[in-house]
A = this chain, B = another copy of it.
Amino acid sequence: MEIAQQAIPLPISTIAERLGICAEQIEPYGRFKAKIPLNVLEARPYRREGRLVLVTAVSPTPAGEGKTTTTVGLGDALTRLGEKAMLCLREPALGPVFGMKGGAAGGGYAQVIPMEDINLHFTGDFPAIAAANNLLAAMIDNHIFHGNALGIDPRRVTWRRVLDVNDRTLRDIVTGLGGINNGLPREAGFDIVPASEVMAVFCLATSLADLRDRLGNIVIGRTYDKRPVLARNLKAHGAMAALLRDALAPNLVQTMEHTPAFVHGGPFANIAHGTNTVIATQAALGLADWVVTEAGFGADLGAEKYFDIVCRRYGLRPAVSVVVTTVRAMKYHGGVEVADLTAPDVTAVRRGLVNLERHVETLREVFGQKVVVAINHRAEDAPDEVDTILEAAAAMGVRAVEARHFAEGGAGAEDLARAVLEVASDDPAEPTYAYPLDGSLWDKLRDVASKVYRAKDINASAAIRRTLRQLEDEGFGELPVCVAKTQYSFSTDPKLRGAPEGHIVDVREVRLSAGAEFVVMVCGSIMTMPGLPARPSAESIDVLPDGSIVGLF
């Protein structure tokens, strides 16, 4: 954080001008953030030259492997090598900042800035998404209160409210208590904003009209005779789209080394699809020659969804996929406990390599990707530990490079950038996918589970199977599936490290996201509303009388 506070940013108008956008065309938010209006972006359509680099990772340790820092470092290194590069990142949620996570805008000398703003309120996109989500919720209960002309079954309302705070006590609540003036009591609950379907819709919409239309398609629950009720039936989608109008323009910021970055939209990858807005990525491909983007958590989660949900739908073709790993993560997957990860242990690294190998294999064989492995350097790494990973990569026939952007900025990632430039396809083919869209929802999940998670089978209660058949009968069978699953394992058991196989994926819940156009399969126990730890980082975040914020990292 201190490093970020010392970085000297360029005026955001200068960054925009480097992308060919006049200062007069941007909407500044302070001096170092701006929204780029959609009509300005529409005048710069996608160009064949714009090449997309996907940054993904091994299954992470609880601290994360530095996917965002690597994305930033790679972008800065490409810039240093004379390439016209740009980043596309997600916006961090506010809730986790006050929990365990601290900020999420990169770290060390590989950060997007202004880091404090990005981690706190930024340009107001998350509050706008929450407002749209909660307006719909209020209109549902209000409709029921005022006579319920649509015949909404209060027990079958699936639409949940959202807040951008880690608050476990809001997961399961009863609303409408206190008498007849307060509505009808029913079971309800809150998710965190990044888990909202409105967030997914926001990230997958291609225009304001498309956004409005998708919002209208949201299924909020069922009538007493079990027919779906849409947001458009409640006439909520117009007002929701109005609330999101300004937010839909991508946010432009810069790295500490002045590489332009769109930071826009922020769905979690363990409970949602996990990548920034399609609008930002498409726009970036029209503005830069190299667009580096990241997909959340390990390749089993973020990358799988990026290919199967996003790339397929929008014709995106990554020229190369970068898999971020650390010595630390390999030891973790080799069975070392978190407290012992700093001690050198080549044997453990060797045991843990199965996790990296599995992800690389998936990317190459399931999704047809060219792959580069980035070993995100940490001070305590022993040379023979790093060599062990490099050798394993060589054995797989994959380029692997150590990257030192955290300590050295873009200069430390030049080798990585050169590897990316060499490996990247000049004319990327369409990716291959884990499943075809025309199978059943069950088959799609089974394909993901067998090809990506290497599970033996998937399992679900009779009620969930019935729900899936009902969704297919209603015409939702053509949608892709979006798996909500722990990020710590290929399986649904976060304790199963390495590269487990032969496990069973248990489907605990199915949520239709008709607006986002996917069906969420909640596998294992995964929380859509996090809690705070015993000592939340909020306790040490503070602001001094002069306005400087401390404790954010």
Contact = CB atoms under 8 A, between A and B. Distances in A.
A168 B183 contact: yes
Interface in A112-132: 117, 120-121, 124, 126-128, 130-131
A27 interface: yes
Contacts of A186: 169
A465 to B, nearest CB: 24
A145 interface: yes
Contacts of A182: 168-169, 171-172
A161 B169 CA distance: 12
Given A208-B545, A542-B241, A181 B168 contact: yes
Given A538-B239, A545-B208, A167 B31 contact: no
B178 A539 contact: no
A76 interface: no
Interface string A205-220: 0011100100000000
A549 B186 CA distance: 34
Nearest to A240: B538
A456 to B, nearest CB: 28
A543 B121 contact: no
Contact of A167 (B138, B164, B167, B534): B138
A235 interface: yes
Interface residues of A, number: 83
A190 to B, nearest CB: 9
Interface stretch (A222-230, A242-250, A474-482): A242-250
Integer count of this chain's copies in the complex: 2
Given A173-B173, A175-B169, A549-B242, A163 B146 contact: no
Interface in A167-194: 167-179, 181-184, 186-188
Mostly, the A contact residues are: mixed
A165 B131 contact: yes
A174 B174 contact: yes
A98 B239 contact: yes
B549 A245 contact: yes
A238 B532 contact: no
A110 to B, nearest CB: 24
A71 interface: no
Given A131-B165, A166-B138, A542 B171 contact: no
Contact of A145 (B98, B168, B181): B168
A164 B131 contact: yes
A139 B538 contact: yes
A196 to B, nearest CB: 14
A118 B370 CA distance: 49
A239 B541 contact: yes
A145 B531 contact: yes
A135 interface: yes
A145 B534 CA distance: 8
Contacts of A139: 532, 536, 538
Nearest to A210: B545
Interface of A: 27-31, 38-39, 94, 98, 117, 120-121, 124, 126-128, 130-131, 134-135, 137-139, 141-142, 145-147, 161, 163-179, 181-184, 186-188, 207-209, 212, 234-236, 238-239, 241-243, 245-246, 531-534, 536, 538-543, 545, 547, 549, 551-552
25 contacts: A38-B547, A120-B242, A124-B124, A134-B165, A138-B167, A138-B169, A139-B538, A142-B167, A142-B531, A169-B176, A170-B175, A171-B178, A207-B545, A208-B547, A212-B542, A212-B543, A235-B540, A238-B542, A239-B539, A242-B541, A242-B543, A242-B549, A242-B552, A245-B543, A245-B549
